[in-house]
Amino acid sequence: MREAAERRQQLELEHEQALAVLNAKQQEIDLLQKAQVEAKKEHEGAVHLLE
């Protein structure tokens, strides 16, 4: 019984850590997508100036 409780506690800890990593990765993706949109706008503006 004690081993099962310890295993459950360990799994809950690992789950929390995985959620934290996932959240950080999602934030990183969001920032990269915003940067991509900005870069595309700048590129389109530069192309427009060259026309």
- Render 1-51 in DSSP notation, one character per residue: -HHHHHHHHHHHHHHHHHHHHHHHHHHHHHHHHHHHHHHHHHHHHHHHHH-
Chain CA centroid to CA 4, Å: 32
Q: Does pLDDT of 15 surpass 90? A: yes
**How much of the chain, in percent, has pLDDT values that exceed 70?**
100
For 30, half-sphere exposure in the C-beta direction (CA atoms, 13 angstrom radius) is: 6
Q: Measured between alpha carbons, how far is 20 from 18 in angstroms, rounded to an integer?
A: 5
- Banded model confidence at residue 34, pLDDT cuts 50, 70, 90: very high
Rounded mean pLDDT of 9-21?
98
Global pTM value: 0.72
For residue 33, give both structure tokens.
Answer: 């997508």
Mean pLDDT, the chain, whole residue set: 96
